[in-house]
Amino acid sequence: MFIEDNVIELMKENQFIPDSLIKYTEKILKKKSQDKYICALIDNPIRVINSIAAIIQEACKATQLSPDDLFHKSGFNKNDLDPTKIGSFLAELRIVNLLPANSFPYLLAN
């Protein structure tokens, strides 16, 4: 469990990783999932965490929301422990990050 604990500690150190995402990741790490997200986190936690944080940071800037608010407003179901949901969440954020650059900021209001 040392590796999993290390991953969680690294996530907690990053200000752009929402607490809810940390708790969610902790739950799926305990399930010993072999999902790509979990495998990548264990293989290269710093790179994966920094990449996720960068996507979240950019989305926070675009939406003017905190990381936790962004996570909650995305509609992410923290009780669905299918680790593939993380990929969907990040894909949504990538789209949000593209919208302001393409003159669609009015879609982000509300």
**AA identity, residue 21:** L
Rounded to two decimals, what is the model's pTM?
0.82
Query: In angstroms, rounded to a whole number, what is the distance separating the alpha carbons of residues 71 and 78?
Result: 10
Query: In angstroms, rounded to a whole number, what is the distance separating the alpha carbons of residues 76 and 60?
Result: 16
pLDDT digits (tens, 9 = 90+) for 6-54: 899 999 999 999 999 999 999 888 887 778 888 898 899 999 999 999 9
- The helix-helix angle for 45-63 and 36-43 (nearest 10°) equals 120
User: Is residue 4's pLDDT more than 90?
Assistant: no
Pick from 9-18, 51-60, 87-96: least confident: 87-96
Query: In angstroms, rounded to a whole number, what is the distance separating the alpha carbons of residues 100 and 105?
Result: 5
User: Count of CB atoms within 10 A of residue 34's CB?
Assistant: 8
CA 86 to chain CA centroid, Å, is: 7
The DSSP symbol for 105 reads: G
